[in-house]
Amino acid sequence: MNAAVRAVVRMGIYVGAKVYFIYEGYQGMVDGGANIAEADWESVSSILQVGGTIIGSARCQAFRTREGRLKAACNLLQRGITNLCVIGGDGSLTGANLFRKEWSGLLEELARNGQIDKEAVQKYAYLNVVGMVGSIDNDFCGTDMTIGTDSALHRIIEVIDAIMTTAQSHQRTFVLEVMGRHCGYLALVSALACGADWLQMCVKLSEYVGPGGRR
């Protein structure tokens, strides 16, 4: 994920945009203050090899409410932000889409409350959102690999390598369960990569290709 953060920041700066970090996800957007800070070229140096994300991540119940999204909109407007790049899964991207749809209504409500003027409503009338899928499941069509999938696959192979000698020395069979929700990518590719003797994909795949199912 840090590679994606670095790419967004540096490309934004390259094209002349002012780029901001929003720390702790939507929670930081709702809380505002120091959670929204300007990024520069050096702020994303030496992070490619660092796991996780330098800007943090957090679940935010407040953003699920209109009141919370109103606070988030106000905090963005204070800095003139009308373009968002959101990295996350289904919940994060669904929230971003809802925020985009409500944007004009949120601005009008802020104007009625006296928090912004009519000129600001016109100036910041549109919110542009770019969604980058962060999911180890690799379950988003139209993209080669979602952010996190490659790292997850790497860890799976590390674990398999670690237990392989034990399995051989004790002459025992090991069953390894991997994540993936409704997508069997991690199971299939890790099985191919390690030369597994047997692979069971999720039940839903069997249902899809069963009698009367989609083929």
Residues annotated as catalytic are: 137
- Which residues, in sequence order, are CB contacts of 132 under 8 Å at separation 6+? 4, 8, 85, 86, 87, 88, 147
* 134 SS3 class: strand
Which one-letter amino acid corresponds to residue 167? A
Which one-letter amino acid corresponds to residue 81? I
Q: At what angle do helices 185-194 and 149-170 cross, to 10 degrees?
A: 50
- The 10 Å CB-count burial string (b at 16+, else e) for 129-150 is bebbbbbbbbbbeeeeebbbbe
- Which residues, in sequence order, are CB contacts of 37 under 8 Å at separation 6+? 20, 21, 23
Shortest CA distance to 82 belongs to which of 56, 42, 116, 40? Answer: 116
Q: Determine the distance from the C-alpha atom of residue 130 to the mean position of all C-alpha atoms in its chain, rounded to a whole number.
A: 11
* 129 SS3 class: strand
| Phi, psi for residue 211 in degrees, rounded to 5 | -55, 125
